[in-house]
Amino acid sequence: LLVFALFWLCVSLALKSLAIQTSPWAFPIASVFHLLGIVLFVGMRLVLDLRMIGLAFGGIAVPEIMKRVGAWSLAGAMLTVVSGMVLYTADSARLAANPVFEFKVAALSAALLNTWVFHAVLTRGARDWDVTRPLPAPAVASAYVSLALWVVLMVAGRFVAYYV
């Protein structure tokens, strides 16, 4: 919490904070980029998660899906994080005190941790995953957790604006 408070102080005093607060175009443009990043990142993650749980793309091996969506997913994640930070600077004091935003940040932390565990730990033997054998249960569980957390994040993100 102390780190978050210090981050808030630095951001709220920064020149970019003043720019986003005074420009008539900065917030809407950042909002559009945030939405595009979310669509790209969550859309690509959805493809992988649905393949992992066996609901779609069953004829394509998981490593092939990962290869196809990886760069797009990373680009979407980076765009989402950068634009989200810009949006945060627009009203950092209100967001820092908003329990829905705090919940969203906690859910985002859990989702990013789950993504890291999936890619760094659970996919170590992914080269051997093909369409004929069942996938490892922990990797499938991670996909279910991912789906749930990204839905929670999107809902919380919409609710942040309405909680005063």
Distance, in Å, from the CA atom of 60 to the CA atom of 69, rounded to the nearest integer, reads 13
pLDDT at 127: 78
Q: Return the pLDDT at 15.
A: 53
Quote the pLDDT of residue 89.
81
pLDDT of residue 1: 54
Q: Is the pTM of this model over 0.85?
A: no
* Nearest one of 136, 131, 137, 135 to 57, comparing CA atoms: 131
Report whether 156 contacts 100 (CB < 8 A).
yes
CA 160 to chain centre: 16
Nearest one of 52, 50, 31, 32 to 42, comparing CA atoms: 50
Spatial contact of 98 and 114, defined as CB atoms under 8 Å apart: no
Residues of the chain scoring pLDDT < 70: 1-20, 164
Q: List, in sequence order, the alpha helices (H) in the chain.
A: 2-13, 15-22, 26-53, 62-90, 92-96, 99-117, 137-160
